[in-house]
DNA sequence: CTGATTTTTCAGTATTTACTGAAAACCGTG
DNA sequence: CACGGTTTTCAGTAAATACTGAAAAATCAG
């Protein structure tokens, strides 16, 4: 193996390892983030066995995290003619990745928060004591804000990359 | 205790419990989120002992999570004349809460990602093989996007609530 | 239908993260 | 500067989360 290929391998390995560590901070498990990094930087689609070997993880672990990534839409399975096993490749478009992650986070973080706030606001609706009114007002203001953030997130995700960028340029400029 | 006060207590307890559960999804530990919820909806500032009692947690746990919340800026300690112990109260302004959480997430999630991407982009700078070029390009495009997101986040956090809202209204309209 | 290959499941185990409780350090007051 | 109240630390333990490996189920070619 020549020096250049060696250097690339090193850089890629580092990326996979570090991206995995970062995943933890993002509330994504290490392995899932590593597989994602591996596939994002793979020239060709990979099989489960290749993923297992590359990351030195068990079949069960590889399998479940691959499934999870497919469920998210961050990777997809591809069929190769004459091949019985599944191959996987990653979505590489950054805007696409961003919208997928945003959608997933909204589902896990924003939507449940909204549900709680709405319920607590309802439950405290008619309470006439000063404390009751204060609590209700607080729930409503949180609800309003989170609901607003939720709508914004949806709206931005639906944009085309170019349009969002343009929008943002105005905001930054 | 009359019915109204009882109902309020129930609603508030539910909020604290649920917000705690939600915290987990947000990568914040349960107790920290519960203490935050408790203080956000407290009519008066509370002592460590009151937090311990209300949430039925140990002193050590209460202490360290209160400290963490203070470090984030989501709660602050207040001194009461004639009182030796510390009291704590929560930041209640939603925009303020939002910017604090955004800042913290940026620190934990965006900044490290940028560091990794930058490093891997540098390391793969001069590699002339097609794979090397592809890898480098991928790192750069991820870096560009994350760096852009980082700047956006900063910019929005610096806005006044009203201005951000106005901006967003245009976007949503 | 059979046998080989591939995928899926899951009980058991390991690792990571959070919490307890008690002891130590700190701090203001008399 | 000694004492009681208060805060801080941290070793040990509990709980949550992730991973392994082997067995079961599914899939497919002949």
Biggest alpha carbon–alpha carbon distance for chain B: 77
List pLDDT tens digits, range A2-49. 888 999 999 999 999 999 999 999 999 999 999 999 999 999 999 999
Task: Locate the chain A residue with the closest alpha carbon to B9.
Answer: A132
In 3D space, the residue among A111, A105, A116 whose CA is nearest the CA of residue B41 turns out to be: A116
In 3D space, the residue among B67, B65, B78, B82 whose CA is nearest the CA of residue B28 turns out to be: B65
Q: What is the pLDDT of residue A3?
A: 87
Residue B167 has which token pair? 């901006």
With a cut of 70, say whether residue B136 has pLDDT above it: yes
List pLDDT tens digits, range A112-158. 999 999 999 999 999 999 999 999 999 999 999 999 999 999 998 99
Residues 6+ apart with CB under 8 A from B170: none
Q: Which residues of A touch B116 (CB under 8 A)?
A: 15, 18-19, 22
Residues 6+ apart with CB under 8 A from B116: A15, A18, A19, A22
A86 closest-nt by C1' vs CA: C6
List pLDDT tens digits, range B2-42. 888 999 999 999 999 999 999 999 989 999 999 999 999 99
Mutate to test the interface with B, among A3, A11, A142 (most CBs of B within 10 A): A11
How many Cβ atoms from other residues are within 10 Å of residue A117's Cβ? 24
Mutate to test the interface with B, among A9, A24, A135 (most CBs of B within 10 A): A135
Query: Judging by DSSP bridges, how do beta strands B75-78 and B46-47 pair with one another?
Result: unpaired
Q: What is the pLDDT of residue B26?
A: 92
Band of residue B173 on the pLDDT scale cut at 50, 70, 90: low
Nearest-Cα distance to chain A for B171, in Å, is: 8
CB contact under 8 A, B98 and A7: no
């Amino acid at each position: 193996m020549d020096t250049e290929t060696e250097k690339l391998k090193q850089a890629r390995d580092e990326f996979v390892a570090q991206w995995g560590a970062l995943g933890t901070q993002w509330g994504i498990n290490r392995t899932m983030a590593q597989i994602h990094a591996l596939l994002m930087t793979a020239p060709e689609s990979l099989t489960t066995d290749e993923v297992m070997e590359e990351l030195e993880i068990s079949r069960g672990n590889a399998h479940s995290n691959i499934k999870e990534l497919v469920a998210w839409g961050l990777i997809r399975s591809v069929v190769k003619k004459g091949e019985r096993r599944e191959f996987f490749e990653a979505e590489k478009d950054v805007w696409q990745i961003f919208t997928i992650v945003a959608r997933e986070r909204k589902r896990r973080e924003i939507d449940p928060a909204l549900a709680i706030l709405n319920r607590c606001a309802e439950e405290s609706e008619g309470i006439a004591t000063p404390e009751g009114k204060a609590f209700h007002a607080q729930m409503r203001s949180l609800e309003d804000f989170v609901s607003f953030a939720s709508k914004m997130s949806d709206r931005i995700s639906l944009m085309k990359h170019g349009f969002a960028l343009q929008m943002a340029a105005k905001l930054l400029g």
